[in-house]
Structure 1
């Protein structure tokens, strides 16, 4: 009797290209503030890692998500121990991201964070650097010495503790026509502005990572003092520094090497005793100012102008009562702003909160730290693409 053999089973394999396309679409939808998931996916197999590390995919990923996500923020804490006063800077993660490039750094003062870079002032040492720029994603670090003229002003023994001389500095990407979604490995600038009440001048200089030199100093007559911990905003090649108090903002046009100033518009009488702070740039490319009055956050957008502005361009009020727990409605102050994602950092009696009402209108709030006396935070915004294969994340 003849044996009956079962029909041969044919295994149908999907074309690899179709599988790769499907996985790419899945990977694109992983939230940009969750780099840990992408790192783990890259470790699953060679095929997935090839997709995630592909240059075309990383560009598509950044385009799909738009503005770089907020991976965390930096802040300074001040200590007085055994007759020694010192500052400690640290990075606080708000995403599945841990950077080995910046943990707690004693005697490092965070000055600014922008375009995936962080600017620190370091304690003067025999090694000689005055400032350090760090990329928390690529772990790159650049040490910068001040020009002799700037060093004499900032590090002079009489000026270090002299409240009559103050300064601030900003770091910004210097790539041509950059959309600032991926500024890693590119050139950068450090803009430094200082004011001297005794001499009645404000002066400025800019450092280029390409030439590794500071520009010649420029100056204007100015009576208002710069805040070292004051807010900074950048629009194109113009950097804005808020002076002490609320009256004056200094504009440093790096491209034209010009300094100018403008006064804030007159506020309503109800805000006479409230601080109006520069916090950044809004989505319309206008300077964003805020003040807190009771359980309300007031926001103004102002078109930057070297002359005195006549009126606010837009005014908006956000009710904080529905967004924050009862304990957090006391001691409120704005201490930071994450451009692009529209998150405002609020220091409260119950800790540090963010609200994302500005862009999404979702009215969500999130407690990001238990500290109750935060003076200022500097959000760290960056995509984590191209570093997935060698990243370190929280587990």
Structure 2
């Protein structure tokens, strides 16, 4: 009797069937939505391309790459360009597997023996050739180059080029890094000086029209003995550190097309011989000034009162020893600010022969590399994704894709 009941119970309670295996979706649109959410690291899309041929096809599509860049908006800081023997040399600031070899962004300039690297912005690099009096705009990710001759009125020698800046014509709200000139027009801002009356002027070149705009002048200024700092973009204005018998700042408002020199009479600041200065982005989006000494950082912000008067306010003070995590005291003559990037609000500092990156917002630092040759570093931010990084896929990885 007991055996019959057990057999009857086994008949009425069969074992549940095993659930079917969960397979990845085959819908291209759904997979793309997933891939769009990968981090913007250089290794993200190349690694995803190794999953299968379908994924490789999707992440290689130019339309997908444009969506990927647009979704992430803020590109990562890939590294810095250093001006060594009149050639831009790239050094990555990322760790493996995102570290980019220097030869991936190599540019040999045989006819640029008197060239100067002026700066990087929006995924573009600006170089000026003093022999040929022309700018070179270079997109390292796409490899695109464009030569831009200076305005004709500079050929007579009455005006000279002092500095310049490059930026995307679409501005911060619409530029696409690393897409080449086909996907993004650019502007070149030329800063020069008139030898006759000592005035500073600015002129803008547009890649849309292929022409320079009219020169915009300041009033007469005193003798300029330093104009070597790169431009810093804060809001709608470009700023250069301009020493005219004091720490003056040159401001070019891109929206109003006005050029002005901000007075350097700031008695509350400490301008001593052992300090180094750099324009920066302030806490409230205003222009700021960083003062570095062997003791630490002072960060000031320029604020405009309700009455229209401008004043400098001390924003932050930090000790250099603390933010860099150094175990010994910093020597007075072995510190300097060699670079700044407004997008991540980060400084490139050098102590002795060691280069560090210090992010203002997070108050964190990272040792980058050491180099006996201390030169200015131009931080380079851009999306370095599948359209270029696939060139670095090894033979074994390519064999996997063919299987």
Q: Contact conserved, 1:67 with 1:181, CA < 8 A, in 2?
A: no
Q: Are residues 1:67 and 2:74 paired?
A: yes
Number of the residue aligned with 1:352 = 355
1:68-107 superposed matches below 5 A: 68-78=75-85, 87-95=86-94, 96-98=99-101, 100-103=104-107, 105=109, 107=113
Q: Which one is further off, 310-319 or 67-76?
A: 310-319
**SS class of match (1:138):** coil
Shift of 1:181: 5.3
- The count of residues paired between Structure 1 and Structure 2 equals 363
Q: For 1:195-234, what aligned pairs fall within 5 Å after superposition?
A: 195-196=193-194, 199-224=197-222, 225=224, 227-234=226-233
Return the alpha-carbon distance in structure 2 between the equivalents of residues 280 and 73 of structure 1.
17
Match of 1:173 in 2: 168
**Structure 1 CA distance, aligned partners of 2:370 and 2:393?**
19
**1:259-270 aligned within 5 A:** 259-264=259-264, 266-268=266-268, 270=270
Contact 2:233 2:239 in 1 (8 A): yes
2:186 aligns with 188
Distance 1:50 1:296 in 2: 51
2:240–2:279 CA contact under 8 A, matched in 1:
no
Cα pair 2:227 2:242 within 8 Å, conserved: no
Aligned to 2:37: 28
Q: Secondary structure at the match of 2:155?
A: helix
Query: Contact 1:336/1:344 (CA < 8 Å) preserved in 2?
Result: yes
- Partner of 2:338 in structure 1? 335
Displacement, 1:120?
A: 0.4
Structure 1 residue 121 corresponds to structure 2 residue 128: yes
Distance in 1 between residues matched to 2:24 and 2:270, nearest whole Å: 68
Structure 1 unpaired stretches of 5+: 1-7, 79-86, 160-164
Do the aligned partners of residues 88 and 59 (structure 1) sit closer, same or farther apart at CA in structure 2, a change above 3 Å counting?
closer
Q: 1:297-336 to 2 correspondence within 5 Å?
A: 297-303=297-303, 310-322=310-322, 323-326=324-327, 329-330=330-331, 331-336=334-339
1:241 CA displacement: 2.1
Structure 1 residues 385, 89: closer, same or farther in 2, change over 3 A?
closer
Match of 2:146 in 1: 142
Match of 1:241 in 2: 240
Give the 3-state SS of the residue equivalent to 1:318 in structure 2.
strand
Give the match's secondary structure for 2:228: coil
Unaligned runs of 5+ in 2: 1-16, 396-403
- 1:119-145 C-alpha deviation (Å, 9 max, x unpaired): 0012535xxx61100011111110111
Decide which moves more: 216-225 or 46-55. 46-55
Deviation (angstroms), 1:169:
0.4
Match of 2:25 among 16, 23, 26: 16
Q: TM-score, normalised by structure 1?
A: 0.77
Pick closer, same or farther for the CA change 1:227–1:152 going to 2, 3 Å.
farther
Q: Secondary structure at the match of 2:75?
A: coil
C-alpha separation in 1, matches of 2:172 and 2:84: 36
1:315 CA drift (Å): 1.7
Q: CA deviation at 1:267?
A: 3.9
Once the two structures are TM-superposed, the CA of residue 380 in structure 1 deviates from its matched residue by 0.5
- Partner of 2:229: helix, strand, or coil? coil
User: Is the 1:353–1:365 Cα contact (8 Å) retained in structure 2?
Assistant: yes
- Scaled by the length of structure 2, the TM-score of the pair is 0.76
Distance (whole Å) between structure 1 residues aligned to residue 90 and residue 72 of structure 2: 24
Distance (whole Å) between structure 2 residues aligned to residue 111 and residue 302 of structure 1: 25
* Contact 1:68/1:181 (<8 A) preserved: no
Distance in 2, Cα, partners of 1:328 & 1:151: 51
Q: SS of the counterpart of 1:243?
A: strand
Give me the whole-angstrom Cα distance separating, in 2, the residues matched to 1:17 and 1:282: 48
Please give the root-mean-square deviation of Cα atoms over the aligned residues, in Å: 3.7
Check whether the contact 2:239–2:249 (CA below 8 A) recurs between aligned residues.
Answer: yes
Alpha-carbon displacement from aligned partner over 1:153-174 (angstroms, at most 9, x marks no partner): 3xx8xx8xxxxx6611010111
Match of 1:384 in 2: 384
For the residues of structure 2 that align with 1:89 and 1:182, how far apart are their CA atoms?
19
CA distance in 2, matches of 1:94, 1:173: 24
Shift of 1:91: 1.7
What is the CA distance between 1:44 and its match in structure 2?
Answer: 4.1
